[in-house]
Amino acid sequence: MPLSEHEQRLLEQIERALYQEDPKFASSVSGSRRSKPARRRRIQGAVLFVVGLVLLVAGIPFRALWLGDLPILSIVGFLAMLGGALLAVTSIGARRGGEETTGQGGAAPKDKQPGESGGGFTGRMEERFRRRFEQE
């Protein structure tokens, strides 16, 4: 379902305010291209996860690889899956050193109210938060 013109304008205004308030955070969540090392780590993590899954399942029928009642191969497979998942997830926030986007240009929002702390998008959100909890 497409957004209405009013909703698109509001979304663009929020996006401009976010870029102006915190360009580093905005660029990290904007879906910009990832660096090759981060992409490589995600792929390595996914491959390690799949290998761990295979070991986890393959460890059950091979009784020769059990230590007492513990399926050692399955435990190693689980640890490999865990490591692969951690590797893939932690590579999402990884960026190359020195790479910083300044954000998209845009006019400042004109609906700033006097007495706001922070003076931007986050300032308005803090003010709304304070007003809501003062009423309760």
**pLDDT tens profile 48-77:** 999 999 999 998 888 888 888 889 999 999
- CB under 8 Å to 38, separation ≥6 — which residues? 91, 92, 94, 95
Q: Which of 14-28, 59-73, 80-94 has the lowest mean pLDDT?
A: 14-28
Give the chain's length. 136
**pLDDT tens profile 100-110:** 444 444 444 44
Reported pTM: 0.45
Burial 90-99 (b: 16+ CB within 10 A, else e): ebeeebeeee
